[in-house]
Amino acid sequence: MTCTFHLIRRHDVDAWAGSLSGLYGNLLKPSLDIILFTSQLSRSLGVRGTILLFLNYYATVRILRAVTPAFGRLAAVEARLEGEYRRGVGRVGRESEEVAFYDGGGREKDILSRAYLRLIRHVNSIYKIRIAYEWTEDYVIKYLWSAAGYGLIAVPLLFTRTKRSLGVQSDSSEAGRNRARDDAVAGRTEADAGGRLMYAYKDLLELAGLTTRLYTLISTLHNLPRTPEGQVNIDGSFEVRNVDVAIPSNSSGEASASSTPTSALVQDLSFVVRPNEHLMITGSNGVGKTAIARVLAGLWSPQNGAFASVHTPPNAHDHMEPSVFVVPQRAYMVSGSLLDQIIYPHTYPEFVKASRTVDELEDILEKVFLTYLPEREGGWMTKKEWRDVLSGGEKQRMSLARVFYHRPKFAILDECTSAVSSDVEGRMYESLKAIGVTLITISLRPSLTKYHTQLLTLNLDSSGPAQWMLSRVGTAEERMEINREIKNLEERLADVESWEARVKELDELLSAGGISSSADTT
């Protein structure tokens, strides 16, 4: 029994706790080492001690099982939320120009903030659950097992009548061993502190890297060019005067003061688009058509110093709808429901606040030939990755649906119907004009010219900026009148031959009958 007393000591108790932790960590399956350990220990503990030991195992497992949260499910939800947030950040980064054209910054910030808050709330809830769980785990494993250990140590004392003097002797030698062990622990702790300092250095380096990244982000944001001050034309026209269109030349994006003629894509551009006078901008690839759209939308500063100006019509009084709406070349689909696609960059609460209705949206879908979509996709509130679900032509028609929804005074359409068939394209253009939207279309399709009244043609010039020419297209009535006149003249030209033949006949008659012609008489 004395032997038992020596064998079961504090470090044995610690070892049990460690083994149990390992056992629990291995999903409660008895591992080989715990079986060996228990069998060894049972020799010293006897039958009662072993039964108590197993009862303790059982109690611990039941308690930990009862308090263990579903960590697997929590981790899966965390991964999904983090994925959603990162996908959102990636989308905005990748399609930043489209978002800027739509003026959708606020909407995107709202979407990303919501995704971030959902993630952070979930992570915080995991931390809270983890604290409660780890607290319970520590208490059960440390204290329940310590208590059990001491109980087992007491077994020989409680159930035998041997002399305690032996225990006293052993105590004094035990105290010596304990001191030695404490010294060893102190030494280990110092070494451990040194190790922690090294880890702290690594953490500091990581922190410095993150700080640099943050600094770069803040200084880049700080250096961004100020959005050009919008000048408003009270008469409601869109006016561009003496503007040089050039690629922003430095990282700060400021219009280059030394903007030489060679750096400008188009030089000294001027035109006025009055309401219902539609302008088409055409020219070969890379000539600078989209660059003009960027200047018109206020993304690039107009250059040419004080001479340059871009005047836009004033926004609506309630600021709910913009006076100018841009549909970019690449169709942009926002994350959200089918309804969100049409009302973008508005949110659903804004849609409700503006008293707009689903019936209106159905009318709009009719105008862009997408009436089948809500039924096919399972309703207006269906959420999908629309970028992948809709075809190229469907995405472009959805982009045009936004113009029908927002009804701006001017719509800048940057080759946004290139994947739509010509007849459908023409009908959509007619519908837009019918609701009073003035079009500024960028296109390479000559078939679109007839929907416009002015044509701005850009011609590439290898020696410098593109040459531009503004011409009048004419209304449909004017074109019909000209056609009528041409037909009339052609009909009259067809009679020329018969008139010539008659003149010849008359000449022959005069010469044969001796009748002198009026010309001869005179």
Ligand X SMILES: Nc1ncnc2c1ncn2[C@@H]1O[C@H](COP(=O)(O)OP(=O)(O)OP(=O)(O)O)[C@@H](O)[C@H]1O
**Site residues (CB under 6 A) for ligand X?**
247, 265, 285-291
Compute the least distance from the CB of residue 79 to ligand X, in Å. Answer: 36
Compute the least distance from the CB of residue 290 to ligand X, in Å. Answer: 3
Compute the least distance from the CB of residue 421 to ligand X, in Å. Answer: 20
By beta-carbon proximity to ligand X, the closer residue of 4 and 301 is 301
By beta-carbon proximity to ligand X, the closer residue of 265 and 280 is 265
By beta-carbon proximity to ligand X, the closer residue of 242 and 263 is 263
By beta-carbon proximity to ligand X, the closer residue of 404 and 468 is 468
CB atoms within 10 A of CB 308: 21
Compute the least distance from the CB of residue 192 to ligand X, in Å. Answer: 55
Q: Which residues contact 236 (CB under 8 A, 6 or more apart)?
A: 274, 275, 313, 314, 409
CA 160 to chain centre: 76
Over 378-409, what HEC string results?
A: CCCCCEECHHHHCCHHHHHHHHHHHHHHHCCC
Compute the least distance from the CB of residue 288 to ligand X, in Å. Answer: 4
Compute the least distance from the CB of residue 334 to ligand X, in Å. Answer: 23
By beta-carbon proximity to ligand X, the closer residue of 288 and 393 is 288
Contact between 433 and 451 under an 8 Å Cβ cutoff? The reply is yes
Four-residue CA torsion sign, 395, 400, 406, 412: positive
The DSSP 8-state label assigned to residue 412 in this structure reads: E
By beta-carbon proximity to ligand X, the closer residue of 53 and 292 is 292
CA gap 157, 168 in Å, rounded: 13
Q: Which residues contact 74 (CB under 8 A, 6 or more apart)?
A: 122, 126, 129
By beta-carbon proximity to ligand X, the closer residue of 296 and 364 is 296
CA gap 231, 296 in Å, rounded: 11
Provide the terminal-to-terminal Cα distance of the chain, rounded to the nearest Å.
164
At CB < 8 A and 24+ separation, what contacts does 361-369 make? 361/405, 364/401, 364/404, 364/405, 365/401, 367/401, 367/404, 367/428, 367/431, 368/397, 368/398, 368/400, 368/401, 368/404, 368/428, 369/397, 369/424, 369/427, 369/428
Q: What angle do CA 7, 12, 15 make, to 5 degrees?
A: 155
By beta-carbon proximity to ligand X, the closer residue of 17 and 292 is 292
By beta-carbon proximity to ligand X, the closer residue of 290 and 457 is 290
By beta-carbon proximity to ligand X, the closer residue of 17 and 265 is 265
**H or E element in which residue 123 lies:** helix 105-138
Compute the least distance from the CB of residue 235 to ligand X, in Å. Answer: 29
Tokens for 153, please give them. 């140590």
Compute the least distance from the CB of residue 224 to ligand X, in Å. Answer: 14
Specify the amino acid at residue 331. Answer: A
Number of residue whose CB is nearest ligand X: 290
By beta-carbon proximity to ligand X, the closer residue of 291 and 296 is 291
By beta-carbon proximity to ligand X, the closer residue of 337 and 443 is 443
Four-residue CA torsion sign, 356, 361, 362, 364: positive
Strand, coil or helix: what is 68? coil
CA gap 196, 88 in Å, rounded: 37
CA gap 274, 450 in Å, rounded: 17
Rg of the chain, C-alpha, whole Å: 43
Compute the least distance from the CB of residue 415 to ligand X, in Å. Answer: 6
CA gap 427, 146 in Å, rounded: 84
Compute the least distance from the CB of residue 293 to ligand X, in Å. Answer: 8
Compute the least distance from the CB of residue 102 to ligand X, in Å. Answer: 17
Compute the least distance from the CB of residue 287 to ligand X, in Å. Answer: 4
Specify the amino acid at residue 117. Answer: L
Compute the least distance from the CB of residue 501 to ligand X, in Å. Answer: 55
By beta-carbon proximity to ligand X, the closer residue of 250 and 276 is 250
CA gap 12, 153 in Å, rounded: 10
Q: What φ, ψ does residue 517 adopt, rounded to 5°?
A: -70, 160
CB atoms within 10 A of CB 329: 18
By beta-carbon proximity to ligand X, the closer residue of 265 and 338 is 265
